Structure 1
């Protein structure tokens, strides 16, 4: 079997951009759950405003971070052959869709009007999806060596 490197094409000096950029939108969208819950218990408009900005930062950062990931998937045959990469990408698109809907719910004069129940529900659902997508991303790095400067087998053997 031949060995191949699965280096990121979207990288600066060999450092992949997607894993470097994804931390901020993940943090924003996970903190969004916290600020939504605090708003539900306190009814303080500060927390509704904080939730709005976390939703906006999470969406914008997620879009920016998804571009290098998409470049890698669509430009590298070895990555396209990994099912976990497609599942990770589909979940990322679903999370961006949920983040868009979540931000749209918060637009208007009263950003807290729809936090309960829809905003909180969408925030929690996105948080669960972040966990699953993150696990798939870790699998891509640690099991398949995506973005790492080590040779990988082109054909994966089935594990017993």
Structure 2
């Protein structure tokens, strides 16, 4: 268990509150919701679900890249974070996930859902799996390594 000496502070923070974990919730929610929305589109073939998927993919991809910039700042500028294999695995999974999410969004922008709905579903499913893995590793960084946690105030 971490003790007071083990607290690792974020450099990308406002008043000591790390920005990456604050910003990541909306993109994660959007990209996770994309999978059931794609299933609803496949089941009903209703254009509403396709349009909802385009928006969710866009919010997830753009928001994820913005949030990842703050995580990258911490990874590159905080030596204690850089030394953690968990941090590098989290970052690599996040880049893979955001690359697939961005591809998914770009494909959706160029199609009305009739030609690529199975590809969109496939990309959404892989993205959701990668989100789960990256979230697990992000949780380990916080709870096991005290990244971004001010243990002096606990």
TM-score by structure 1 length?
0.89
Unaligned runs of 5+ in 1: 152-160
What SS does the corresponding residue of 1:106 show, helix, strand or coil? Answer: helix
Equivalences for residues 1-160 of structure 1 within 5 A: 3=5, 5-116=7-118, 118-150=119-151
User: Which residue pairs with 1:158 in the alignment?
Assistant: none
For this pair of structures, how many residues does the alignment match? 149
8 Å contact from structure 2 (residues 97, 127) kept in 1: yes
8 Å contact from structure 2 (residues 7, 145) kept in 1: no
CA offsets, 1:59-103, max 9 Å, x none? 010011001100000001100110000000000100110011101
**For the residues of structure 2 that align with 1:45 and 1:113, how far apart are their CA atoms?**
13
| Pair 47,86 (structure 1): closer, same or farther in 2 beyond 3 Å | same
Task: Look at both structures and tell me which one has the larger radius of gyration over its CA atoms.
Answer: 1
**For the residues of structure 1 that align with 2:88 and 2:55, how far apart are their CA atoms?**
30
8 Å contact from structure 1 (residues 48, 112) kept in 2: no
**For the residues of structure 2 that align with 1:78 and 1:45, how far apart are their CA atoms?**
48
Unaligned runs of 5+ in 2: none
- Structure having the higher helix fraction is 2
After the TM superposition, which segments of 4 or more aligned residues of structure 1 sit over 2 Å from their partners?
none
